[in-house]
């Protein structure tokens, strides 16, 4: 039975799909005849919710797509035999802004609860915002991230540790190629700092307003950012997460015919 479903999908900064094909707005991608879609393994994937799509994003190019043909539905994504790309745009800056919003919201929540975090967490977010506006260098951002990491380590035994990790991850990259991974991690830990279901709903609404409000018009495109950034993303030290290793971050996925 042939179905149609509109959703969101992220692709890499170079606008290539998981099978190496180049992204083209207006093109219909199809599996070879006889091949069946398999969720997270084979076919063309999309999520109805842009926050769910971010959970699998390999890069900052957001696509509005229409799945067609045979469609298999999962809990937060679907896979199909055909996919038409309706529009695409680079949302690198919007993703950074979303990470800041998530982390700041988590820090404010801790403050409201009477748990004031290390000033280095707040300061790191200020540097990230300044970096976005061209008022801070990559070196300054890297140093702010380093300070936020140590602030997170210091908070590892505190109920506020999730907010501290969110602040560190919101500051963790100046490379567009890795922004999606850092942003979804910041959102994840920010949600852990409060009621997860309620906060994820709030995050979904915010991200929708930031990156997807104008993407229903087919054919709307924007050139990827040409900026080059030298700072390489790091990792929050393992001892930050020592007391909650069982928590899983949203997994990433490839785009195109294979999306594990």
Q: Report how far apart, in Å, the C-alpha atoms of 69 and of each of 22, 37, 217, 220 are.
A: 21, 10, 22, 24
Residue 231: strand, helix, or coil? coil
Residue 177 gets which letter from DSSP?
G
Nearest residue to 29 via CA among 90, 77, 79, 72: 79
Low-confidence spans in the chain with pLDDT less than 50: 218-260
Report how far residue 201's alpha carbon sits from residue 177's, in angstroms, rounded to the nearest whole number. 26
Judge contact between 142 and 174, C-beta under 8 A: yes
The pTM of this model reads: 0.82
pLDDT at 1: 55
Domain boundaries, the chain: 3-90, 92-211+228-244
**What's the half-sphere exposure (Cβ side, CA atoms, 13 Å) at 176?**
21
Residue 145: strand, helix, or coil? helix
pLDDT at 194: 87
pLDDT at 50: 96
CATH number among 3.20.170, 1.10.357, 3.40.50, 1.10.10, domain 3-90:
3.20.170
Q: Residue 42: beta bridge partners?
A: 38
pLDDT at 155: 93
């Amino acid at each position: 039975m042939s179905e149609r479903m509109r959703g969101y999908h992220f692709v890499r900064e170079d606008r290539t799909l998981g099978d190496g094909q180049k992204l083209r707005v207006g093109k219909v991608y199809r599996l070879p005849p006889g091949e069946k879609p398999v969720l997270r393994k084979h076919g063309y994937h999309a999520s109805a919710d842009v926050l769910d799509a971010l959970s699998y994003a390999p890069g900052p190019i957001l696509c509005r797509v229409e799945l067609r043909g045979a469609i298999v539905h999962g809990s937060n994504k679907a896979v199909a035999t055909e996919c038409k790309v309706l529009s695409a745009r680079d949302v690198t800056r919007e993703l950074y802004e979303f990470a800041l919003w998530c982390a700041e919201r988590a820090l404010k929540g801790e403050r409201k609860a009477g748990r004031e975090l290390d000033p280095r967490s707040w300061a790191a977010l200020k540097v990230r915002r300044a970096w976005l506006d061209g008022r801070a260098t990559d070196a300054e951002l890297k140093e702010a991230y380093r300070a936020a990491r140590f602030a997170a380590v210091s908070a590892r035994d505190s109920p506020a540790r999730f907010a501290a990790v969110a602040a560190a991850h919101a500051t963790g990259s100046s490379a567009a190629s890795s922004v999606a991974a850092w942003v979804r991690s910041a959102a994840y830990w920010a949600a852990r700092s409060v009621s997860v279901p309620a906060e994820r709903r709030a995050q979904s609404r915010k991200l929708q307003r930031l990156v997807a409000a104008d993407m229903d018009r087919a054919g709307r495109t924007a050139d990827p950012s040409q900026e080059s950034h030298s700072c390489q993303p790091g990792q929050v030290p393992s001892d930050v997460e020592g007391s909650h290793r069982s928590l899983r971050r949203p997994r990433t996925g490839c785009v195109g015919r294979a999306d594990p």
